[in-house]
Structure 1
Amino acid sequence: MRSFTKWGFAFGTLAFATACVVAGRDADPADWPGMASMQSVQGRSIYHECGATMIAESWAITAAHCVETARIEGGRRAIQYVPDEDGRLVRFGPITVTVGAGDLRRVAKDSVFLVKGITVHPGYTRGYPERGHDLALLNIDGRWKGPVARLDGLTGDAAAMAEPWSSLLVAGYGKSGEQAAGQEAVSRSGRHLSAPMMVLQEGDVPEVDPETCKAQIETLIETYDYGAEYDGVTVSPEWQMCAGTGYSDSCQGDSGGPLVQRGAEEPPVQVGVVSWGLGCGRAESPGVYMRVAAYADWISATTGIAPLTPP
């Protein structure tokens, strides 16, 4: 397992996409069905950690690295653990999911749920999201009655969207830049809030073909002399996809959030989950996303969500 020192360095400089959208704009949550903020609660304080999306009444999808130190206690709720100065994991607080918020300071009571179960993809290697399979499914305690995301290859079909009128977009509450400071606020109920951004952001991120992405990632690893940490890291077109050409980009705090394909008339289809990247908004440094269509069978088997029936 990689050291927590490296994790801290990665989040501060490499910007593993636990990230806000760089060069983004305020988003209308109605355009992002199922958009969620995965949070940790400690006493009267709430901390945004990662993005997520509701994909069914009781299930959300996020990145595995967002929950790799979480534990299920009492068989009924997920608790986040964090490293102390010696690298030992200590209890922090319960994990919750807040759904459909355009502004984290203004949240309806019936949109906040405790997480009672976590299923991490069996292929994920703890501490190494860049090696792939960086997906986790969250089982919430309760039922979300609002809209949910349509997943490519399962409940949606991105291929059916007519070109050239479709585009890729990412959304989240992450940092607006690598060195951007987080935001603090007080909710209407008097609770302390901490998040990279309080207002949901979105940005256009053009797709980067796998070979170009692979070459760019390898060049960056060599340029930054990260060979020891990322030896053998590559991009698999089978289960990963790349997006972002150096302007709008996902960043720290956006991990686990949605990459969607949006057409002129069709509802959006989620094609990816924010996973990792080298920097935020840097030229020729695309973000790497998990390709959800590649995991449709696993998602269906875990959640019971039935795939679309061909017409």
Structure 2
Amino acid sequence: FFLFHSTGIASQRRSLPLWMIALVLLGILVILGVTIGLLVHFLAVEKTHYYQASFNVSGASHNYDCGKRASLESRALIKNLENVMSDAFHNSSIYREYILSQVIRLSSGPRGVTAKILLAFKFSLAKKDNMWRSLRSILHQMLKDNKESLLTDPSSLKFMEISKDDAENLVINCCGRRLSLISDDLIKGNNRIKGGGPSKEGEWPWQASLKWNGKHHCGASLISKSWLVSAAHCFVRSNDTTKWTVTFGNMVNHPYMKRNVKTIIVHEDYQIRLKDDIALVQLTEEVTLTKDVRSICLPDATQNFSAGDRAIVTGWGKFYMNGPHPEILHQATVQIIDTDICNAPQAYNGSITDSMLCAGYMSGKADACKDDSGGPLVSLDPTGIWYLIGIVSWGDGCGKVNKPGIYTKVTFYRDWIANKTGI
């Protein structure tokens, strides 16, 4: 007989070398460390979170959209609501996380006026659940506390978190907002256009370049989808609309958007370097508002900006007299200077009128320079909204001692702007 037997292949376990075991363990530890580190980073690093709230206010009828000018009554209500919210959060346990609260819309309905609010806070993901409860509780208590004075209805409160894109869309038509830089909206630093610092993309979305025959000539500020404000002296060379174009974006020679000019309105009483240095530019086609192209808010004629207040001037002007131009938009922090100081004999010796604004430093430092003309001087209000307060007009050199920059005062010409544009 035949004896069959299976011939198995004998396997022998061989132990891995110690160096290989150590390498594997090290790899596992590295992966665990990276995973834990990323998790801690994700939970601990602070980022900006956005919320939308709405509630009802009884009383008079109000209709307001942040892209349009509000009535005096609506502005008063908006100011009251924003002040009350700001006080509520600043006096709460989460005051460090609070960034802003802004009224975006007022709409009349059967239950009174519905106020739509945008809120922003900065905190880590680990705090998200607690922040949600705190925010809702603070808002509800605020509405209860002001039920008599503001006629608010606590039961009408609606509250939800929204994405950054949704927040951006919520304020797309709102003037003077920079949502992408909302947590950076603190005036700081001492950069200069003359020898100063470049700006970030979308940091000053209302800034435009006025180009004559395709070359940058002056700055301008977007005040609506189709209107800009600039300096009258920019058009001394020519007010032929076919010669002018307007571009938007941080880089002057590689613009984000371009438009042709339909109308140029120079102030009727303009006199070279003396007074009424203001002009309006109407576009042939409205701009498309984006995070990088937005309008700046115009102040009321009665709005005050005091000596010592800080402001920002921007432009593509020269770094110094007869110097080179930047490709990227530059910015400078300046201070508003009392007119009497600017009119001193060693300064401008009485040349500054009520229609002008003096800003910069008597010691020199920051200043606008050649080809910044017509560009914006802007100021941030306590609610995080930027206002156009001046138009780069003239000065003696760039950054000279006792010779700060002179700007056309926008509040002085607010009614003129409204009369010409309806804005």
TM-score by length of 2: 0.50
Q: 2:263 aligns with which of 91, 95, 117?
A: 117
Q: CA deviation at 1:300?
A: 0.5
Q: Is residue 175 from structure 1 mapped to residue 318 from structure 2 by the alignment? A: yes
Q: CA offsets per residue over residues 46-71 of structure 1, 9 Å max, x none?
A: 31000001111111110000012323
Q: 1:59 aligns with which of 227, 238, 252?
A: 227
Cα separation, partners in 2 of 1:23 and 1:267, compared to 1, 3 Å: farther
Cα separation, partners in 2 of 1:30 and 1:265, compared to 1, 3 Å: farther
Q: CA deviation at 1:133?
A: 0.6
User: Does the aligned pair in 1 maintain the 2:342–2:348 contact within 8 Å?
Assistant: no
Alignment of 1:219-234 (within 5 A): 219=346, 234=351
**Which amino acid is 1:258 matched to?**
P
Partner of 1:240: 356
TM-score by length of 1: 0.67
Partner of 1:280: 398
Partner of 2:328: 199
RMSD of equivalent CA atoms: 2.4
Equivalent pairs: percent with the same residue? 31
Cα separation, partners in 2 of 1:293 and 1:255, compared to 1, 3 Å: same
User: Does the aligned pair in 2 maintain the 1:62–1:256 contact within 8 Å?
Assistant: yes
Partner of 1:230: none
Cα separation, partners in 2 of 1:59 and 1:71, compared to 1, 3 Å: same
Question: Which protein shows a greater Rg?
Answer: 2
User: Does the aligned pair in 2 maintain the 1:58–1:141 contact within 8 Å?
Assistant: yes
Unaligned residue ranges in structure 2 (runs of 5+): 1-191
Q: 1:96 aligns with which of 238, 245, 259?
A: 245
User: Does the aligned pair in 2 maintain the 1:255–1:275 contact within 8 Å?
Assistant: yes
In 2, distance between residues paired with 1:179 and 1:119?
30
**Which amino acid is 1:203 matched to?**
A
Q: Where is the helix percentage greater, Structure 1 or Structure 2?
A: 2
Q: Is residue 141 from structure 1 mapped to residue 270 from structure 2 by the alignment? A: no
In 2, distance between residues paired with 1:149 and 1:122?
24
User: Does the aligned pair in 2 maintain the 1:152–1:271 contact within 8 Å?
Assistant: yes
Q: CA deviation at 1:31?
A: 2.8
In 2, distance between residues paired with 1:304 and 1:56?
10
**Which amino acid is 1:235 matched to?**
I
Partner of 2:239: 71
Q: 1:28 aligns with which of 200, 206, 210?
A: 200
Which structure is richer in relative contact order (CA contacts within 8 A, separation 6 or more)? 1
Q: CA deviation at 1:295?
A: 0.5
Q: 1:289 aligns with which of 403, 407, 417?
A: 407
In 2, distance between residues paired with 1:158 and 1:202?
23
Unaligned residue ranges in structure 1 (runs of 5+): 1-19, 73-77, 80-93, 182-195, 223-232, 306-311
User: Does the aligned pair in 1 maintain the 2:346–2:402 contact within 8 Å?
Assistant: no
